[in-house]
Amino acid sequence: IDGSADATSKRRLLESWIIRDPTGVFSNDDNNYLHRSERHTRALAKFVRLVELCRAAGVGGKKSNSDTSSSSAVNHLEGEIIATPEFLTLVNAISDDPFPTSLHWVMFVPNILTLCDAEQQAQWLPLCRDWKMIGCYAQTELGHGSNIRALETTAKFLKESDGAAPGGEWVVNSPTLTSTKFWPGTLGKTANHAMVIARLIDGSGVDHGIHNFLVPLRSMEDHTLLPGVETGDIGPKIGYNNMDNGFARFENVRIPRRNMAMRFAVVDEEGVYEKVGAKKKGGSGDAASKVAYITMMQVRAYIIHSSNDALAMACTIAIRYSTIRRQGYNADADKKHAENAPNEIQVLDYRQQQYRLLPLLAASYAIFFSGKHVLARLKNIENELVSGSTAITKTIVGDIHATTSALKSYATAFTADGIEDCRKACGGHGFLVSSGLVELSNTYLQSCTVEGDNYMLPQQVVKVLLKLVGAMQSGDAALLKDHK
């Protein structure tokens, strides 16, 4: 699983940092008795300690072994830890407490890396590295989720001659109740910036559809809300309550012109919009939409990959319990009793229990390797697009979309059901919160809905498959070639 014996030894060493940490902050002994606000605070304290451990060990230094991608700017930023395999290993080691800061490295920083130009990255990435800028990804609204083309939040360009600051500004607004940003993780309490997905309206009043804008939410000095920004936590959920899923509304919030992500599209000081790719000979100008789409699909791939963690934890608890728990007698019970040997059967020795649990354990391995493959494939596609390659066609993007949609739907549904089966396999003890299975199940349930509902995603797969069937029937050689 780790790739080599040395890698496994390194993983176990990193996990020991958490297990043996002298501060005791990583203890989960009283988690079940804490209010969700206290859990949020405790999780932030754990994260701060994790960063301290990484800094002390030199994770993310000049010669870090974590430079796995030469095209990723964050890997070349000295002191940055979030892109390192060591950091991700340590995050997984603190499995009981999802971090409220996780959207910062899962979506916020990747969006800066892929959609912002070099000048913007040079300005913002050091702030992200030093945790002065803590970000979230604000796309979903109260009225629209999957239908991103219908998002209502607006960013209207204001020229300097019309009263804006030098160079022009964007005026961000939530024009309707349904345009309220709703559900983004890290937004409620933790983030001081958001990558807001809003409709770009240029200096001539033309709507160019959704684009990314970096919007300050709170002061980087004292964390107070900035003028025109209303945000907060949306309240308790079934699970995943360490995460401060939040809401946000904007009223005439002004941000600099350069706070628009400008790697693939630009707006000049006069409010004129232009796609960067369209400037090149033969350029289609659609690289931005592809990259943005790939970035969103990477989150879906992370969900697939993390399904293994949740299912593996549930299997570990249930199988260990079934090994220790004894129930019923076998034919040699009297003989064993005479020899002072255990005269009850291990629950795991029953074929019924094996049938319930061992296929789930095997599936966790399959999900792990599937998720790992999809993540690598998406990263390769992203690198190709960012480098300006024209080899990545819409067909290829559609194909990986179908793959992630199918795997996300299947893996999350299978895992959610599998965790519940593991809980039931532990009998009455599985009903105890202290078993770990109750919170694990409740927290995981969000994966079946987030980043695409599990009943909606298979329809996306069918759409791609029907298109492929049509290509085969019509003999569309170009389309079939892309699918090989």
Active site residue ranges:
451
Q: Cβ distance 254 to 164 under 8 Å?
A: yes
H or E element that contains 198: strand 193-201
Rounded Cα gap, residues 46 and 40, in angstroms: 10
Strands 246-250 and 169-173: unpaired
SS (H, E, C) 272-341: CEEECHHHCCCCCCCHHHHHHHHHHHHHHHHHHHHHHHHHHHHHHHHHHHHHHCECCCCCCHHHHHHCCC
Q: Cβ distance 91 to 18 under 8 Å?
A: no
**Phi and psi torsions of 7, nearest 5°:** -65, -35
- Four-residue CA torsion sign, 439, 443, 448, 453: positive
Q: Cβ distance 295 to 401 under 8 Å?
A: no
Tokens of 262: 């400008």
Rounded Cα gap, residues 162 and 169, in angstroms: 10
Q: Cβ distance 151 to 174 under 8 Å?
A: no
Q: Is 478 exposed, middle or buried (0-12, 13-18, 19+ CB in 10 A)?
A: exposed
Greatest Cα pair distance, the chain, in angstroms, is 97
Residue 299's Cα: distance from chain center in Å? 4
Name 355's Cβ contacts closer than 8 Å, sequence gap at least 6: none
- Four-residue CA torsion sign, 450, 314, 50, 233: positive
**Phi and psi torsions of 249, nearest 5°:** -130, 145
Task: Please give the DSSP secondary-structure letter assigned to residue 425.
Answer: T
Rounded Cα gap, residues 71 and 282, in angstroms: 24
Q: Cβ distance 181 to 141 under 8 Å?
A: yes
